[in-house]
Amino acid sequence: MANYIETAAVIQKNLDTASTVGLSTGWMDKNAGKVKYSGGREIKIPKVDMDGMADYDRANGFVEGDVTLEYETRTMTQDRGRGFTIDEADVDESNYALEISSVMGEFQREKVIPEIDAYRISTIATNVIGASEAGMTVYGYVPGTAGTSALRKAYEAIKAVRDQGYDGIVALQASSNFVLELKLELAAKLQFMEVVKGGITIKVPAIDGNPIFETVSNRMVSAITTLDGTSEDQKVGGWKKAESALDIELIATPMVGPMAVNKLDKFRIFDPKTYQKAAAWHADYRRYHDLWMTEKRIKQTHITFSSAKPA
C-alpha cells in the first residue's frame, strides 16, 4: 500500500501543476502568494506590512523601520470532487499509475478546469456588478459587429482601470470571440509577452505590455450553477451557465487584483484488494478552490458584456 500512497502523491503534484497551467485564469494564483496549506478548506495567505520612507540622516544614517509578516486565514467555499472506479480487468497492474494518471488528467482538463475558470470569472463579475462603480461596466458590445473595434474596446477598458488610480499591469481576460477580432484587426502587428502560470513561463498576446488571456467563450459568464452530482437532474455533475447570467467579452483588472487558490486535497488510490465495493481500482479526486478581491481592486475592474443591460 505504501507504493500506492507514494504514487498518489506524485500524481497529485503533477495534477496541481497542470491545473494551474491549464486554467486561462491560472495567472491569478500567484496573487495569493506562498500560501500555507495543510489540507481541508482553510488556507493561510501571507500579508506583509512595513513602515514607509524616512529622511536619511548623514550623521546617524538610516532610520530603522518595522516589517511584519502575518498570515490571514481564509476559507475556500468550493469543495468539489469525484470518485472513479476502474475495473481491474481494464488496468494493467504493472502500469496502473500511468493509466490512472491518464484518466485523472483527462477528467481535470475536460471537467475541472472549465468549472474553475467559469467560477472565477463569474465571481469577479458578481463583485463588479454589485459594486455599481460608474463607468466600469459596458453592455451590448458584440465582437465583429459592423462599426465596432475590439482594439478600441480593449484600450477603453484599460483607460477605465487607469482612471480608477491603478497604473500597473492590466490583465485582460478575453473571450475567444473578442481575441479573434483583435487578431483580425492587428494581424501580424499583435504583440506577445511572457507571463508565469504555475511556475511555467508562457507567451500570451498583449496590448502595450498588458497581457491578454484568451478564454473559451462559454466560460465568460456572470453567474454559474454548480451541479451536486446526486440530485435526479444533476447526476452528471459539473456546472452550467445560470439562467440569469450575462455573457462577458472582456474583463480588464489589475494584474495584482484577483487572489485565487486551487488545491487538490489528498488524492488517493486504492488497489482491487483494498477497495471493498468492487474488484476494481478506485481513485478519489477532491479539489478546494476560491477567489477573493479587495474592495479597492473590485472598483478598479472593468467588464464589457455582450448581453444587454438588465432592466
The CATH code of the domain that includes 241 is: 3.90.1690
Single pTM value for the model = 0.90
- Domain presence at residue 216: yes
Q: At residue 97, does pLDDT exceed 80?
A: no
62 located within any domain: no
pLDDT tens digits along 231-253? 999 999 999 999 999 999 999 99
Kindly state the helix (H) or strand (E) to which residue 83 belongs, with its residue range.
strand 78-87
CB atoms within 10 A of CB 144: 11
Domain count, the chain: 1
Q: Which of 31-40, 61-70, 135-144, 210-219 has the lowest mean pLDDT?
A: 31-40
Q: Cell triple for residue 247?
A: 455573457
On whether residue 150 sits in a domain, the answer given is yes
Place of cell 546617524: 60
Kindly give the residue spans of alpha helices, DSSP state H, lying in 225-308: 295-299
Instruction: Kindly report the average pLDDT of the chain as a whole number.
Output: 92
Average pLDDT score over residue span 161-186: 96
Q: What 3-state class would DSSP assign to 39?
A: coil
**Angle subtended at Cα 209 by Cα 206 and Cα 210, rounded to the nearest 5 degrees:** 60
Residue 1: predicted pLDDT: 45
pLDDT at 297: 95
Residue 63 included in any domain: no
Beta carbons within 10 angstroms of residue 226's beta carbon: 16
The count of other CB atoms within 10 Å of the CB of residue 85 is: 13
In a domain, 59, yes or no: no
- DSSP character at residue 221: B
C-alpha cell belonging to residue 141: 458590445
Q: Give a yes or no: residue 64 inside a domain.
A: no
Whether the pLDDT of residue 19 is over 50: the answer is: yes
- Cell numbers found for residue 7: 504514487
149, part of any domain: yes
Torsion sign (Cα): 91, 95, 97, 101? negative
Instruction: Give 19's Cβ-side CA count (13 Å radius).
Output: 26
| Residue 115 · residue 229 · CB < 8 Å | no
d(CA 20, CA 262): 8
For residue 111, the model assigns a pLDDT of 95
Indicate the pLDDT class of residue 2, thresholds 50, 70 and 90.
very low
Q: Running DSSP on this structure, what letter comes out for residue 308?
A: P
Does the pLDDT at position 306 exceed 60? Answer: yes
Residues across the chain: 311
Is residue 56 domain-resident?
no
Whole domain around residue 186: which residue ranges? 2-34+80-305
Read off the pLDDT band of 3 (50, 70, 90).
Answer: low
